[in-house]
Amino acid sequence: MSKRDPDLLLQSAPLLKQGLSVPTAMRDVLLALMPALFAGFWFFGLSAILVVAATILGAMATEWLFTPKQERAVALGDGSALLTGLLLGMTLPPALPLWMAWLGGVVAIGLGKTIWGGLGNNLFNPAIVGRAFLLGTFPIAMTTWHVAAGPDSFFQLHPSTLALPFMQSPPMDGMSAATPLGLMKFEQIDSPIFSLMFGNSSGSLGETSGVLLMVGGLYLLLRRALEWRIPLAIFISAGLFTLLLETIDPARFPGIHFTIFSGGMMLGAIYMATDPVTSPVTPKGAWIFGCGIGVLVVLIRNFGGLPEGILYAILLMNAATPLINRYTQPRVFGRSRS
């Protein structure tokens, strides 16, 4: 070889990498959410699209603002802010004033992520932080629901969508309707399982189609991008607990399909509780975490003051995550448990 020797790099082993990185993992979750998102758009029209756009915009703008200049491209490119915005948007009522949705996105990233030190350091799921903020600040707007109008009135904006910040909201447009959860909780009216599953019930814009959210979950499972133990533990524990209550007093407590297919259960269990940053790292921890959420959901729904339990259940278990991690360290190979 007369050729000059190559300039050798000394990158230390292993040189092989699994073809999975943070951006691809985020992209997988984004893709998985698409069917349910488009169903939401279909049922709730242009207003829904604008609400999601507003939360995403708020989240990404905040990420951009708080990231040092050189790191902006990478931080926005990893897709985590986009995902936070999207998840938040999907939990909101379709006719929420846009400025509120935008503010929710800002708070989700600002208070949910940035002040903790950015990606990987936050204790609570940012999207849920954003939603909790909105629910506390704008309780009326956040609980005003509309019937799923379907494609006929796709371009018809709800008057509240374009409401100006801090103005008196315009009068409700007469299309508002109680959600299945509200019906159940306050009036003890059951909803048909079909509408719960496919999304033409009234509710948050991305949460109403349990089946499509599940399809996305299956996709993640196939891509090996889902900590399946968490949703499984949630469904099993919530299901069993509900069954128990139902046997005690079937008139008062809702049935099992209700627990699993309704509200944000699917979205929360499959997409929010499994956020790696805010859930335990150990497999055993994942089981504990999921069971905790399942039990809390049923408790909050049936005995608490709110119709919706999953988001608060996740927040509570987020707080317990460091503790769960500490106590579920696996037994090291060849050592007895210490």
**133: Cβ contacts below 8 Å, ≥ 6 apart:** 104, 107, 108, 111
- d(C-alpha 53, C-alpha 85), whole Å: 8
Q: Does 10 sit near other proteins (CB under 8 A)?
A: yes
Number of residues that bind other proteins (CB under 8 A): 43
Closest C-alpha to 252, from 194, 307, 308, 186: 186
Residue type, 84: T
What DSSP state is assigned to residue 11?
Answer: P
Q: Does 248 sit near other proteins (CB under 8 A)?
A: no
Binding mask 50-79 for other proteins (x = CB under 8 A): ------------------------x---x-
Select the residue interacting with other proteins from 61, 119, 175, 299 (CB under 8 A): 119
Window contacting other proteins (CB under 8 A); options: 163-171, 174-182, 184-192, 277-285: 277-285
**217: Cβ contacts below 8 Å, ≥ 6 apart:** 32, 226, 231, 266, 270, 271
Whether 94 and 77 have beta carbons less than 8 Å apart is answered as no
Nearer to other proteins, 21 or 137 (CB): 21
Window contacting other proteins (CB under 8 A); options: 114-122, 138-146, 287-295, 301-309: 114-122
- d(C-alpha 217, C-alpha 79), whole Å: 18
Select the residue interacting with other proteins from 5, 152, 187, 249 (CB under 8 A): 5
Nearer to other proteins, 251 or 332 (CB): 332
Q: Does 15 sit near other proteins (CB under 8 A)?
A: yes
Window contacting other proteins (CB under 8 A); options: 5-13, 148-156, 168-176, 200-208: 5-13
Select the residue interacting with other proteins from 155, 166, 303, 333 (CB under 8 A): 333
The position carrying tokens 């609570």 is 124
What are 176's strand-pairing partners? 146
Select the residue interacting with other proteins from 189, 244, 276, 327 (CB under 8 A): 276
Least distance between other proteins and beta carbon 8 (Å): 6
Closest C-alpha to 37, from 175, 173, 207: 207
Least distance between other proteins and beta carbon 170 (Å): 42
Helix (H, G, I), strand (E, B) or coil at 146: strand
Q: Does 281 sit near other proteins (CB under 8 A)?
A: yes
Q: Does 139 sit near other proteins (CB under 8 A)?
A: no
Nearer to other proteins, 28 or 207 (CB): 28
Q: What is the DSSP string of 41-71?
A: HHHH-HHHHHHHHHHHHHHHHHHHHHS-GGG
Least distance between other proteins and beta carbon 215 (Å): 23
Least distance between other proteins and beta carbon 12 (Å): 5
Q: Please report the beta strands in the chain, taking only residues with DSSP state E, as ranges in sequence order.
A: none
> How far does the chain reach from its first CA to its final CA, in angstroms?
58
Whether 280 and 324 have beta carbons less than 8 Å apart is answered as yes
Nearer to other proteins, 84 or 201 (CB): 84
**Burial degree of 231 (CB within 10 A; 0-12, 13-18, 19+):** buried
- d(C-alpha 193, C-alpha 15), whole Å: 51
Q: Does 337 sit near other proteins (CB under 8 A)?
A: no
Least distance between other proteins and beta carbon 86 (Å): 17
17-46 residues in contact with other proteins (CB under 8 A) are 17-18, 20-22, 24-25
- Write out the residues near other proteins by the rule CB under 8 A: 1, 3, 5-18, 20-22, 24-25, 74, 78, 118-121, 227, 276-277, 279-283, 286, 329-335
